[in-house]
Amino acid sequence: MFIRLIALPVLAAALLLSACSKEGPPAQPAAATPIAQPYEAVAAQGKGFTVGAMMSANTVYVLFDPQCPHCGRLWEASLPLQAKVKFVWMPVAFINAKSAPQGAALMTATNPQELMTTHEKSILSGAGGISAPSGIPAEITQAIEANTRLLNSLGADSVPYIVAKNLRTGEVVSNTGALETPALADFLGVDRP
């Protein structure tokens, strides 16, 4: 009985710590009700960089803040699946002042997969991520701001936020928080690596 009393709060805390939330009062969604078709909305409105199986019919959209360590864990979990799935990583900016410049650097990188891997290793080690240029092109700043508004309009208040179509069922699925590779594969409906 005692172990159960201790285990439940620990489990609840672990689940809450799988995503980075916005601080302060909850942001008001741009729409009065959540978007009915989140997959289509994110596909049409979001901007980011693409990695993985470029010709895959299965596209996974990930809204992430470059300063979020849970997003770094999701990045690492996604690496073994990138031969099977096309991922589009869409930076948002709400954690701190580094979020937007780092997102811009990732969006404009000649090799975003390599830079993202370097960046996430730095985030997960506590080193703060990649250095980012101070001058961000206006269109990139606007894209990151639009991604952040899109995240709000989806009713999400934390990252990473994943939206995809499950390959096995065809059902649109969404998740807030990081997943380990086997759980991510199941969530996406692809074979585990």
The 10s digit of each residue's pLDDT in 131-189 is 988 888 999 999 999 999 999 999 898 999 999 999 999 999 999 999 999 999 999 99
Dump pLDDT digits (tens) for 112-138: 999 999 999 999 999 999 998 888 899
Dump pLDDT digits (tens) for 38-57: 999 999 999 999 999 999 98
Higher pLDDT, 5 or 76: 76
Judge contact between 191 and 182, C-beta under 8 A.
Answer: no
Whether residue 29 is predicted with pLDDT greater than 90 in this model: the reply is no
The pair phi, psi for residue 18, each rounded to 5°, is -90, 5
User: 155 in the Ramachandran plot: left (φ > 0), alpha (ψ -120 to 50) or beta?
Assistant: left
Delineate the domains of the chain, giving CATH numbers in brackets: 34-188 (3.40.30.10)
pLDDT band for position 36 (cuts 50, 70, 90): low
Q: Determine the pLDDT at residue 35.
A: 56
pLDDT band for position 106 (cuts 50, 70, 90): very high
Q: How far apart are CA 69 and CA 128, in angstroms?
A: 10
Q: How far apart are CA 148 and CA 128, in angstroms?
A: 21
Whether residue 25 is predicted with pLDDT greater than 80 in this model: the reply is no
Beta strands, E only, 85-171: 86-91, 158-159, 161-165
Q: Determine the pLDDT at residue 65.
A: 98
Q: How far apart are CA 67 and CA 124, in angstroms?
A: 10
Q: How far apart are CA 174 and CA 40, in angstroms?
A: 12
* Beta strands 59-64; 86-91: pairing state: parallel
- For the entire predicted model, the pTM comes to 0.85
Judge contact between 81 and 183, C-beta under 8 A.
Answer: no
| Residue 155: DSSP 8-state | T
